[in-house]
Chains A and B, each alone.
Chain A
């Protein structure tokens, strides 16, 4: 068997192993999320509702357990982790809570969506609020507060941005971290994240790919030298 064939077979086996690893990655992850995690309190607040005294702010919870809540000042609002909250502004003079209370009392909560969608006085915001219910065991966080800020209210658009996250640690100290991008919640600085088996794939795949590249380059060099020798 020539050196070239040995190298090719070795590369093929390594590539196969690596491909299996790549395909197995999502399956490996499935069962590893819950163990090693702990519960945390979560809520969100709007820091500047007082700057818009002509408006009432309402949060509508959809999906898992439909409901609504009138936001009072900068109170911190908690919700069921699978709920999707959507914030609305309504001119105070046009806001009438009675129909909302009536829908809630009727028990047919799904009518809320229909009611809010049809009432043009509800000015929607597209800010996405995602609850976090658990963090890794090693995370010293016990409470997470997302702080939102109203940027503007126009006829049909309520613009809200996530401004910062306040972490309260188990020793009752707090830390504020500003949002760099709206999609990604800033991480607390005291967090040390142990990599899960799935996350190890993020490093294993590049390492194996790099090994294969090095082998290709080395074998190329080796072949060149052999050719020169003969």
Chain B
């Protein structure tokens, strides 16, 4: 893998923090529950996506779409919201994290 092993937990925590804040902006309720859901959702998708990207399948966009769809389903189930809203949340969280990732990479 090209990514340093020591960076992985930090990157995961950063992703969780960013996505949590985005969810909080949209939902503004039960912050602790939202944090738990954010941790769980990211812990399902992030390690798998990272492993696939660096080991087998280096297609960022395609992996991002798969992550978006999986997170949409998980958010729908956990937050008990409509699929459209789950898709919007999933898109917003992943868009923001990807954007921040690109900005950091560019710097």
Question: Closest approach, in angstroms, between the C-beta of A26 and any C-beta of chain B?
Answer: 6
Q: Is the contact region of chain B dominated by helix, strand, or loop, or is it mixed?
A: helix
Secondary structure class of chain A's binding surface, majority of residues:
helix
- With A25-B8, A187-B56 as known contacts, state yes or no: A206 contacts B43, CB within 8 Å: yes
As a 0/1 sequence over residues 1 to 23 of chain B, the CB contacts with chain A under 8 angstroms (1 = contact) are: 01001101100100000000000
If A180-B59, A199-B51, A206-B47 touch, does A26 touch B77 (CB 8 Å cutoff)?
A: no
Size of interface on A: residues with Cβ below 8 Å to B: 29
Does B48 touch A at the CB level, under 8 Å?
yes
Interface flag for A52 (CB, 8 Å):
no
Is A213 part of the contact surface with B, judged by Cβ < 8 Å?
Answer: yes
Residue numbers of B with Cβ under 8 A of A are 2, 5-6, 8-9, 12, 36, 39-41, 43-45, 47-48, 50-51, 54-56, 58-60, 74, 77-78
Cα of A204 to Cα of B44 in the assembled complex, Å:
9
Complex partner residue of A206 from B5, B48, B60, CB under 8 angstroms: B48
CA gap between A181 and B36 in the complex, in Å: 35
Cβ-closest chain A residue relative to B45: A206
Contact B55 A22 (CB under 8 A): no
Decide: B77 and A22 in contact? CB cutoff 8 A: no
B77, closest chain A residue (CB): A217
